[in-house]
């Protein structure tokens, strides 16, 4: 057995160093190199050497120098362990971290794998609305304080977004921090209470028409009388929306919202402006105009001239007004003459672009035909071909309709969706304005040609749109048999043409309400829901706002002329057929429809 200074090697050695010095020795990173070399030495030789005392002295000096203060540090304290989120339920159900359609006083149960420090909840779990407003909540503790039950102290707002955020300032009773933050997103649902008192259906239709009428009459441009594109447009007015506004003025007279004299005065203002100030291109109007000067406002870089489709909507409104103001008075005679001049000035045939068998949508003085957009069906443009065929001054032959618009029948569909056969158009019908814009004045009832029965077409399109929303294949919150209608409108990303094949979860009131002549039961159910259940959010002084999503939730604050117009006009066509009767009474329209091969008892 090897001995060191007479002591057995297996026996422990006792150095003349206290415990603090040994701790300094182990903690002193700067001297690890020297310690390593020291340990490599043969212990027995070192201790028995005459140099032992010198080595221990040097070692003591090195270890003592590791302390900055020269005083002994406190023994290290291990930090308390962090803890984790472990369980979640909202109203007794776990469904991930996003909850839709919840009640106004939901119970949120959050579980953790450690007991919580109660005083840390005030900052550690934050309940807030999407706007940032803090929601005060009550708390109950369960499972040895490792689970909390949170409830808002006051009812939440309906159809609003909230989140519950557990963050790393949340502490355990042992002092540890939450390892990973947790966010629970919560969206409240529909409040089923009525927002307005119940009134008769007649009074409700009157009210909706009256408020919608105000958009066109009270909010019409003060100089031109034309319709602003939207409620934030200022001087920007729209030619197509103004045609709808003219029809709305005629409804306003019928419903006693204004007098015939007031309506006539507004129409004189409009026609005088269109004749004397508005910029035109071969008789056609641009999409947008300055309502004070009449100058073109470009719709896009290449769309800075004529828009033949928007011109069609304007002319249809003017012809309806011409048929309405039929008295043999100087004022009404002058109005009719102005309208005839505007109507006869439109060079429909020139928009064939060198006598092609199709009409083109756009032309401008500096861009020419660069937009290169042919007007081909099935979409919202049937009225353009009917008016072009009806023109006494610049007509088109029937072949342009058959070869251009109908593409010799290729616009036919014939597929059955939700048990409903669709005669024309894209899959599932497309946006519902296809069934509205051309038929504001053209009566589809028993209107037929070689391609379709247009009453069947519009009924089928409307009911497919309704059935899709009722079936709700994308599972959007709020879609139902009383909350339906997909068409072009504003949405939370801007503006888009919504349809069953392009469905972001946005309902547009104009879609269902303007379909009232085609699907009255379904449209009235939507009207009641929009007004009574959502009215405090979407029914305003100018009628229903443009769109909403109950799924996000999101509500537009905008009004658009081309969406407001079909509501008041098509409700009136449902009630009395007024605008249908007016436009269909025009002798040119009768001739044009017959020329294109249409049959109708209204011709």
CATH number at residue 145: 2.60.40.1220
Same domain, 133 and 208: no
| CATH number of the domain bearing residue 242 | 1.50.10.140
State the pLDDT at residue 74. 66
Same domain, 208 and 181: no
Which has the closest alpha carbon to 228: 297, 323, 132, 166? Answer: 297
Q: What is the average per-residue pLDDT within 81-109? A: 96
Residue 445 has pLDDT above 90, yes or no: yes
269 φ/ψ angles, rounded to the nearest 5 degrees: -60, -45
Residue 37 has pLDDT above 60, yes or no: no
Q: How far apart (Å, rounded) are the C-alpha atoms in residues 334 and 55? A: 122
> Greater confidence, 85 or 59?
85
- Please, what is the average pLDDT of the chain? 90
Same domain, 143 and 278: no
In a domain, 13, yes or no: no
Total-model pTM: 0.86
Which has the closest alpha carbon to 517: 603, 454, 458? Answer: 458
In a domain, 18, yes or no: no
State the pLDDT at residue 228. 98
In a domain, 127, yes or no: yes
Rounded percentage of the chain residues whose pLDDT exceeds 90? 87
Which residue, 155, 188, 221, sits at the end of a domain? 188
CA distances from 240 to 141, 149, 308, 437, 507 (A): 62, 56, 10, 10, 23
CB 444 within 8 A of CB 577: no
Q: What is the DSSP letter of 255?
A: T
Q: How far apart (Å, rounded) are the C-alpha atoms in residues 112 and 95? A: 18
Which residue, 188, 218, 248, sits at the end of a domain? 188
Q: How far apart (Å, rounded) are the C-alpha atoms in residues 312 and 304? A: 17
Q: What is the average per-residue pLDDT within 82-91? A: 96
Residue 4 has pLDDT above 70, yes or no: no
In a domain, 77, yes or no: no
Same domain, 160 and 233: no
Rounded percentage of the chain residues whose pLDDT exceeds 70? 87
Same domain, 167 and 228: no
CB 410 within 8 A of CB 424: no
Q: What is the average per-residue pLDDT within 495-514? A: 98
Which has the closest alpha carbon to 522: 420, 437, 423, 440? Answer: 420
Length of the chain: 603
Q: How far apart (Å, rounded) are the C-alpha atoms in residues 423 and 461? A: 9
Same domain, 434 and 541: yes
Number of domains in the chain: 2
State the pLDDT at residue 79. 86
Chain center to CA of 438: 25
Same domain, 256 and 396: yes
Q: What is the average per-residue pLDDT within 386-403? A: 98
CB 288 within 8 A of CB 303: no
CB 208 within 8 A of CB 571: yes
Per the structure block, which two tokens stand in for 153?
């102290």
Q: What is the average per-residue pLDDT within 519-525? A: 98
Greatest Cα pair distance, the chain, in angstroms, is 141
Domain that holds residue 502: 201-595
Least confident residue range of 23-27, 336-340, 525-529 = 23-27
Same domain, 229 and 90: no
Which has the closest alpha carbon to 211: 166, 275, 257? Answer: 257
Triad 558, 562, 565: Cα angle to 5°: 100
State the pLDDT at residue 313. 98
Triad 91, 116, 80: Cα angle to 5°: 140
Residue 82 has pLDDT above 60, yes or no: yes
State the pLDDT at residue 73. 60
State the pLDDT at residue 145. 97
State the pLDDT at residue 72. 57
In a domain, 494, yes or no: yes
Which residue, 188, 219, 237, sits at the end of a domain? 188
Same domain, 474 and 509: yes
**Helix, strand, coil shares, percent, the chain, to 5:** 40, 20, 40
- Helix H, strand E, coil C: the string for 52-91 is HHHHHHHHHHHHHCCCCCCCCCCCCCCCCCCECEEEEEEC
Q: What is the average per-residue pLDDT within 64-68? A: 45
Which has the closest alpha carbon to 386: 588, 179, 87, 166? Answer: 588
State the pLDDT at residue 77. 73
Q: How far apart (Å, rounded) are the C-alpha atoms in residues 198 and 528? A: 10
Q: Would you call 182 exposed, middle or buried from its count of C-beta atoms within 10 A (0-12, 13-18, 19+)? A: middle
Per the structure block, which two tokens stand in for 348?
């429909």
With cut-offs at 50, 70 and 90, classify the pLDDT of residue 59.
Answer: very low
Residue 366 has pLDDT above 90, yes or no: yes
State the pLDDT at residue 51. 44
> pLDDT tens digits, residue range 263-280?
999 999 999 999 999 999
Q: What is the average per-residue pLDDT within 506-527? A: 98
In a domain, 55, yes or no: no
CA distances from 166 to 54, 84, 96, 251 (A): 61, 11, 15, 57
Same domain, 207 and 129: no
> Greater confidence, 63 or 90?
90
Least confident residue range of 35-49, 174-188, 296-310, 504-518 = 35-49
In a domain, 64, yes or no: no
Least confident residue range of 34-38, 372-376, 443-447, 509-513 = 34-38
DSSP letter for each residue of 97-124: BEEEEE-SS--EEEEESS-B-GGGHHHH
Q: What is the average per-residue pLDDT within 161-183? A: 96
Same domain, 249 and 278: yes
In a domain, 29, yes or no: no
Same domain, 367 and 284: yes
Which has the closest alpha carbon to 320: 268, 247, 220? Answer: 247
Q: How far apart (Å, rounded) are the C-alpha atoms in residues 444 and 164? A: 53
Q: How far apart (Å, rounded) are the C-alpha atoms in residues 554 and 531? A: 17
172 φ/ψ angles, rounded to the nearest 5 degrees: -85, 165
Least confident residue range of 60-69, 238-247, 372-381, 553-562 = 60-69
Residue 42 has pLDDT above 50, yes or no: no
> pLDDT tens digits, residue range 527-545?
999 999 999 999 999 999 9
With cut-offs at 50, 70 and 90, classify the pLDDT of residue 75.
Answer: low
Q: Is 476 helix (H, G, I), strand (E, B) or coil?
A: coil
Q: What is the average per-residue pLDDT within 145-157? A: 96
CA distances from 489 to 5, 194, 395, 492, 503 (A): 99, 26, 33, 10, 12
């Amino acid at each position: 057995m090897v001995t060191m200074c007479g002591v057995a090697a297996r026996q422990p050695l006792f150095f003349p160093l206290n415990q603090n010095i040994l701790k300094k020795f182990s903690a002193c990173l700067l001297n690890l190199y020297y310690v390593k070399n020291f340990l490599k030495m043969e212990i027995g030789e070192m201790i028995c050497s005459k140099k032992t005392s010198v080595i221990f002295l040097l070692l003591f000096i090195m270890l003592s120098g590791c302390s900055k203060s020269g005083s002994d540090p406190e023994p290290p304290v291990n930090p308390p362990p962090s803890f984790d989120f472990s369980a979640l339920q909202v109203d007794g159900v776990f469904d991930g971290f996003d909850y839709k359609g919840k009640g106004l006083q939901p119970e949120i149960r959050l579980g953790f794998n450690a007991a919580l420090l109660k005083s840390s909840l005030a900052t550690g779990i934050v309940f807030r609305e999407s706007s940032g407003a803090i929601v005060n909540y009550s708390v109950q503790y369960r499972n040895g304080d490792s689970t909390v039950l949170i409830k808002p102290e006051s009812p939440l707002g309906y159809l609003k977004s909230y989140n519950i955020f557990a963050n790393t300032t949340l502490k355990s009773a042992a002092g540890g921090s939450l390892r990973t933050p947790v966010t629970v997103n919560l969206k409240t649902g529909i409040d089923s209470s009525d927002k307005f008192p119940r009134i008769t259906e007649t009074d409700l239709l009157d009210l909706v028409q009256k408020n919608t009428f105000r958009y066109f009459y009270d909010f019409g441009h003060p100089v031109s009388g034309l319709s602003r594109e939207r409620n934030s447009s200022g001087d920007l007015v729209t030619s197509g929306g103004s045609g709808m506004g003219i029809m709305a003025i005629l409804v306003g007279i019928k419903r006693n919202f204004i007098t015939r004299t007031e309506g006539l005065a507004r129409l004189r203002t409009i026609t005088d402006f269109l004749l004397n100030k508005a910029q035109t291109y071969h008789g056609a109007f641009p999409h947008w105009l300055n309502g004070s000067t009449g100058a073109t406002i470009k719709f896009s870089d290449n769309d800075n001239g004529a828009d033949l489709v928007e011109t069609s909507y304007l002319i249809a409104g003017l012809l309806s007004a011409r048929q309405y103001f039929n008295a043999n008075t100087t004022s009404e005679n002058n109005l009719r003459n102005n309208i005839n001049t505007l109507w006869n000035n439109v060079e429909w045939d020139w928009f064939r672009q060198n006598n092609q068998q199709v009409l083109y949508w756009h032309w401008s003085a500096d861009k020419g035909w660069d937009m290169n957009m042919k007007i081909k069906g099935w979409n919202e443009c049937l009225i353009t071909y009917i008016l072009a065929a009806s023109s006494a001054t610049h007509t088109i032959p029937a072949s342009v309709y058959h070869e251009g618009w109908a593409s010799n029948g290729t616009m036919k569909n014939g597929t059955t969706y939700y048990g409903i056969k669709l005669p024309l158009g894209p899959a599932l019908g497309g946006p519902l304005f296809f069934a509205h814009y051309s038929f504001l004045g053209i009566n589809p009832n028993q209107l037929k040609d070689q391609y379709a029965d247009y009453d069947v077409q519009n009924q089928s399109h409307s009911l497919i749109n309704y059935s899709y929303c009722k079936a709700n294949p994308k599972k959007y919150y709020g879609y139902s048999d009383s909350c339906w209608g997909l068409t072009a409108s504003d949405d939370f990303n801007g503006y888009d043409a919504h349809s069953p094949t392009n469905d972001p979860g946005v309902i547009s009131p104009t879609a269902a309400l303007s379909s009232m002549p085609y699907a009255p039961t379904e449209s009235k159910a939507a009207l009641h829901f929009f007004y009574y259940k959502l009215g405090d959010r979407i029914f305003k002084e100018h009628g229903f706002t443009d769109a909403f999503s109950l799924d996000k939730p999101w509500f537009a604050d905008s009004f658009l002329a081309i969406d407001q117009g079909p509501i008041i006009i098509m409700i009136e066509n449902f009630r009395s057929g007024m605008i249908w009767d007016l436009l269909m009474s025009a002798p040119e329209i009768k001739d044009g429809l017959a020329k294109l091969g249409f049959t109708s008892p209204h011709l």
